[in-house]
A and B are shown apart, each in its own frame.
Chain A
Amino acid sequence: MFETTPIVVGLDIGTSKVCAVVGEINDSGGLNIVGVGQSKSRGVRKGEVVDATLAGEDIRNAIVEAEQMADTEIRSVYLGVTGGHIRGLNNRGFHPVVSNDREITDDDVQDVIKNARAINLPAENKVLHVIRQLFLVDGQDGIVNPVGMFGASVAVDVHVVHGNLNRLQNPIRAVKNLQLEIEDVVFSGLASSLALLNNHQKEMGSLVIDIGAGTTEFVVYSNGIIKHTGVIAVGGDHLSNDLAYGLKVPLSRAEQLKIDHGSALVEPEIKGHTITLTNDLGIPEKTINLEHLRRIMSLRLGEIFQLIAKELDQSDLLSHVREGVFLTGGCSRIPGIETLANQSFHLPVTLGKTNSISGLKSALDQPEFAAAIGLARFGSFEMRKRSQEKPGLQTTITQTFKNLFGRS
């Protein structure tokens, strides 16, 4: 085992499937995906582990499959977390410049970031990420690096992602029970955005939306920095549940109808079309009105987009998204979803591609994998960062994020 190239593993415990992605760090520090393992997820609802036993089995299966494919042993993972309890917020920290000559030093920068981290959160909340945005010197904003500048005061804006500690602990415990180490815990919305966006897209301003089975994560970048993150605990399961209720069919049938006949749009020409359901014996049992099916889906998906648009509009962020909207997660497969998103955001909409990752075979460019691939990518950055570090100098997640989500 001594000779092997270092590997990183991204583990995404999704609502519909658990996915483990194994990446190798190549000589140039890039990431090659060498293995993927998947398992149906039975112990997760709305992105959160609700049944530790089932979740444990499913995680194990995904890990074993990934190990076999990559022909390696997995000891540690970068774990993705999500759920309706996770929140993103922007905070500003201030710091008076202390040196006599008023030249801003590294220490000032460390101090101001420390101040920005100090947000008032309820005790049961835990900060997941503090991501540096831009600095201000004597009120002048938009400064990437203030070190060496002169000023009486320095301020920094940070984006903080936090969540409920107890709820974050559920997936962590499930993984630790399998004797796996956790290298780091990462908000899975950030991970998906990492898998999808290149630097240019981050710079121009992009909105990434990952619509999975139980949750929808969204992340906004502009000028190369993270402006906003959010989660709505609504996803493909809601589509199925709505259909089961509205069409009066069992949930499993609704899930299948969604995939076979679903669309985000209600096109006028489908009016009057029906789908005939047969029972086990092939005898027609029920007819479904296709227009109803699509209307139920369209209303739900449209609502998800509207909720996001409304939230972003409140902080006037949509005008910063110049590159457009990138959709991912299993629900981005729904026909017509780009058009519907375009109607809600009035922005160009693309289905996100994960093949910006070097070495990744196109077979792995599936929207369901975005989060897991992004986690591996996160890991590769962090590993590279660590190996570059002089011994004794501590890596902070802030620095990692500066590299990952900030200007490179």
Chain B
Amino acid sequence: MRESIPDLNSGSSSQPLTIKIIGVGGAGSNVVAEMQRSDLGAIPALILHTNSRILNLDTKAQKMVLGARRTHGLGTGGDPEIGRAATEDQEEPLRQFCQGADLIFIVAGLGGGTGTGAAPVVARVAKDSGALALAVVALPFDFEGNRRTKQAQVGLVNLKSAADAVICLPNQKLFHILDEQTPVTETFAASNDLMTQGVRGIWQMLTRTGLINVDFSYLRSVVHDRHTESMFASAEARGEARVREVLDRLVASPLLEEGRVLQESSDVLVSLVGGPDLTITEVNKIMEQLNRRVTEGQLILGAAIDPTQTGCIRLTIVASRPNRDLAGQSVPELSRLSPPPTLKGEIEAPFFDELTVNLSQSRFKAPPPATTPENTELLLQQLNGQSDRTRRHSSKRLKQEMFNLEIVSKGRFEKSEPTIHHGEDLDVPTYIRRGVVLN
């Protein structure tokens, strides 16, 4: 914990993060255009497509038509080779866009020609320019046919080796939360929504100066491992039962496979955003319940207060689990991605169980960077102006400052000034900063 009220400009990792978004292909362009209409519009965005019809898309994102020479703006005809070649022709402007970014989200739908062929090239360029390349991709519905499915799988393998991490959203998984009659366009809308929420959650987690900040390096370490697959889920709730509801909703997310993903994950990054009325008990309860779910791995918590969100809790997680399919990349991922639908209530233990809030502490848990209950307690006390240190300040001043209170949970180094050397936080393990994968 910092000893003093930090000044606004001296964050722990010096400069603020620069984040950018690139949408690739038809799906990518649609999703990014949608993001740009939301609060995510604050993030510089670029959309890329082989089809010049993106030029008609009403968005403030920059646009770039790929391979006009090759395809005359008419698309790839579903051939990823064309998507790839067209992008490689235009790496230079792409590189310029990537310049200076710390993190680049690459959004696409896999299965067609453009997203499938171009996204790996975009990821490579992004990574070469020094950014963490985080791909968020939709995979086709089963009904779209075998060719798309196969093509998407090949694209996924390429993308996984080009990007730092790939977060997958198999459209098929949405099926059992939508009713049969839902038109395909609406299904896509639901899928777009989930991708937007995922990107928003990660963005907030990294950029909101929070109560407990999640260092960029930890995100890197959670998603970086080639041998894991990363998933995300997001949920929101308000009202009296909001803690219970936000947890229920989160675990009901189709992407978490009835909570199995949490169970099997080795690392789970949790981002919690609440209104100024968020209480210590609530933070603890959420963490306790997640802790019960994440039986194997480690939880890393980031928490922020959004002054405009009174009454609301939003929970976003990024989870990585060992990829059982990775050894045999030929195993069709999608066959696993559509689990036999179970009746939810049947297998679900009640997620929020008030009778068993006391966690057994038997398993190993690394102290950093997960926050300690004492730490959380302290910072929430500060929030309410109860701590000795903050009592001196007028409550008005405190209210403004509390959102900038930055508390990086750093285990052994909590009491000391962070060791920043030429802009690098040396308190973060070297192997993580170097992106070394322990496997």
User: Using Cβ atoms and an 8 Å threshold, which residues of chain B touch A233?
Assistant: 416-417, 419, 426
- Cβ contacts B287-322/A at 8 Å (1 or 0 each): 000000000001000000000000000000000000
- Cβ contacts B396-432/A at 8 Å (1 or 0 each): 0000000000000001110111010100001101111
* Contact residue among A46, A237, A300, A307 (Cβ-Cβ distance under 8 Å from B421): A307
B429 touches A246 (CB 8 A): yes
Instruction: Give A328 to B419 CA distance when docked, in angstroms.
Output: 21
B431 touches A299 (CB 8 A): yes
Interface residues of A in 286-312 (CB under 8 A from B): 286, 289, 292, 295-296, 299-300, 302-303, 307
A295 touches B438 (CB 8 A): yes
Instruction: Give A247 to B366 CA distance when docked, in angstroms.
Output: 8
**Interface hit among A118-126, A141-149, A248-256, A375-383:** A248-256
The reply on B391 being an interface residue by CB < 8 A is: no
B412 touches A295 (CB 8 A): no
The reply on A45 being an interface residue by CB < 8 A is: yes
Instruction: Give A51 to B426 CA distance when docked, in angstroms.
Output: 23
Interface residues of B in 361-379 (CB under 8 A from A): 364-369
The reply on B434 being an interface residue by CB < 8 A is: yes
The reply on A285 being an interface residue by CB < 8 A is: yes
Q: How far is the CB of B124 from chain A (nearest CB, A)?
A: 25
* Contact residue among A232, A248, A249, A300 (Cβ-Cβ distance under 8 Å from B419): A232
The reply on A182 being an interface residue by CB < 8 A is: no
Instruction: Give A50 to B415 CA distance when docked, in angstroms.
Output: 7
A244 touches B368 (CB 8 A): yes
* Contact residue among A214, A238, A245, A247 (Cβ-Cβ distance under 8 Å from B426): A238
Q: How far is the CB of A15 from chain B (nearest CB, A)?
A: 9
B419 touches A245 (CB 8 A): no
Instruction: Give A299 to B428 CA distance when docked, in angstroms.
Output: 12
Instruction: Give A31 to B366 CA distance when docked, in angstroms.
Output: 46
User: Using Cβ atoms and an 8 Å threshold, which residues of chain A touch B417?
Assistant: 46, 84, 233
Q: How far is the CB of A54 from chain B (nearest CB, A)?
A: 11
B438 touches A289 (CB 8 A): yes
* Contact residue among B411, B419, B432, B434 (Cβ-Cβ distance under 8 Å from A251): B411
Instruction: Give A286 to B365 CA distance when docked, in angstroms.
Output: 11
- Cβ contacts A204-221/B at 8 Å (1 or 0 each): 000000000010000000
The reply on B436 being an interface residue by CB < 8 A is: yes
A248 touches B427 (CB 8 A): no
Q: How far is the CB of A264 from chain B (nearest CB, A)?
A: 13
A245 touches B364 (CB 8 A): no
The reply on A199 being an interface residue by CB < 8 A is: no
Q: How far is the CB of B30 from chain A (nearest CB, A)?
A: 39
Q: How far is the CB of B36 from chain A (nearest CB, A)?
A: 37
- Given known A45-B413, A241-B412, A248-B364, contact A299–B421 (CB-CB < 8 A): no
User: Using Cβ atoms and an 8 Å threshold, which residues of chain B touch A241?
Assistant: 368, 411-413, 427, 429
Q: How far is the CB of B4 from chain A (nearest CB, A)?
A: 11
- Given known A234-B426, A242-B429, A299-B436, contact A48–B416 (CB-CB < 8 A): yes
Closest chain A residue to B419, Cβ basis: A233
Instruction: Give A240 to B431 CA distance when docked, in angstroms.
Output: 13
Closest chain A residue to B417, Cβ basis: A84
Instruction: Give A297 to B432 CA distance when docked, in angstroms.
Output: 12
User: Using Cβ atoms and an 8 Å threshold, which residues of chain B touch A214?
Assistant: 416
Q: How far is the CB of B29 from chain A (nearest CB, A)?
A: 39
Closest chain A residue to B415, Cβ basis: A50
B412 touches A240 (CB 8 A): yes
Instruction: Give A148 to B108 CA distance when docked, in angstroms.
Output: 80
Instruction: Give A299 to B426 CA distance when docked, in angstroms.
Output: 12
User: Using Cβ atoms and an 8 Å threshold, which residues of chain B touch A299?
Assistant: 430-431, 434, 436
* Contact residue among A246, A286, A303 (Cβ-Cβ distance under 8 Å from B438): A246
Instruction: Give A92 to B394 CA distance when docked, in angstroms.
Output: 49
Instruction: Give A303 to B436 CA distance when docked, in angstroms.
Output: 13
A251 touches B438 (CB 8 A): no
* Contact residue among A84, A237, A249, A296 (Cβ-Cβ distance under 8 Å from B366): A249
User: Using Cβ atoms and an 8 Å threshold, which residues of chain A touch B415?
Assistant: 45, 50-51
Instruction: Give A109 to B132 CA distance when docked, in angstroms.
Output: 56
- Given known A296-B429, A300-B430, contact A245–B412 (CB-CB < 8 A): no
User: Using Cβ atoms and an 8 Å threshold, which residues of chain B touch A232?
Assistant: 419, 421, 426
Instruction: Give A42 to B368 CA distance when docked, in angstroms.
Output: 19
- Given known A50-B415, A240-B412, A242-B431, contact A251–B367 (CB-CB < 8 A): yes
User: Using Cβ atoms and an 8 Å threshold, which residues of chain B touch A238?
Assistant: 426-427, 429
Instruction: Give A67 to B298 CA distance when docked, in angstroms.
Output: 48
* Contact residue among B364, B413, B430 (Cβ-Cβ distance under 8 Å from A303): B430
| Centre residue among B426, B429, B432 by max chain A CB count within 10 A | B429
User: Using Cβ atoms and an 8 Å threshold, which residues of chain A touch B430?
Assistant: 242, 296, 299-300, 302-303
Instruction: Give A299 to B438 CA distance when docked, in angstroms.
Output: 12
Instruction: Give A234 to B412 CA distance when docked, in angstroms.
Output: 12
Q: How far is the CB of A81 from chain B (nearest CB, A)?
A: 15
Q: How far is the CB of A83 from chain B (nearest CB, A)?
A: 9
A84 touches B419 (CB 8 A): yes
Instruction: Give A84 to B367 CA distance when docked, in angstroms.
Output: 24
B364 touches A237 (CB 8 A): no
Q: How far is the CB of B439 from chain A (nearest CB, A)?
A: 9
Instruction: Give A124 to B364 CA distance when docked, in angstroms.
Output: 44
Instruction: Give A248 to B365 CA distance when docked, in angstroms.
Output: 6
Instruction: Give A250 to B298 CA distance when docked, in angstroms.
Output: 12
Instruction: Give A329 to B76 CA distance when docked, in angstroms.
Output: 64
User: Using Cβ atoms and an 8 Å threshold, which residues of chain A touch B431?
Assistant: 242, 246, 295-296, 299-300
Q: How far is the CB of B425 from chain A (nearest CB, A)?
A: 11
Give me 21 A-to-B residue pairs in the complex whose CB atoms sit less than 8 angstroms apart, sorted by A's number: A45-B415, A50-B415, A214-B416, A232-B426, A233-B417, A234-B419, A240-B412, A241-B413, A241-B427, A241-B429, A242-B429, A242-B430, A244-B412, A245-B369, A246-B438, A248-B366, A250-B364, A299-B430, A300-B430, A303-B426, A307-B421
Given A241-B427, A245-B369: 18 more A-B contacts, CB < 8 Å? A45-B413, A232-B426, A233-B426, A234-B419, A238-B427, A238-B429, A241-B411, A244-B411, A245-B368, A245-B429, A251-B412, A285-B364, A295-B431, A296-B431, A299-B430, A299-B431, A300-B430, A307-B421
The 10 A-B pairs at the shortest CB distance, nearest first, are namely A242-B429, A45-B416, A233-B419, A299-B430, A300-B430, A292-B438, A46-B416, A248-B366, A241-B412, A303-B430
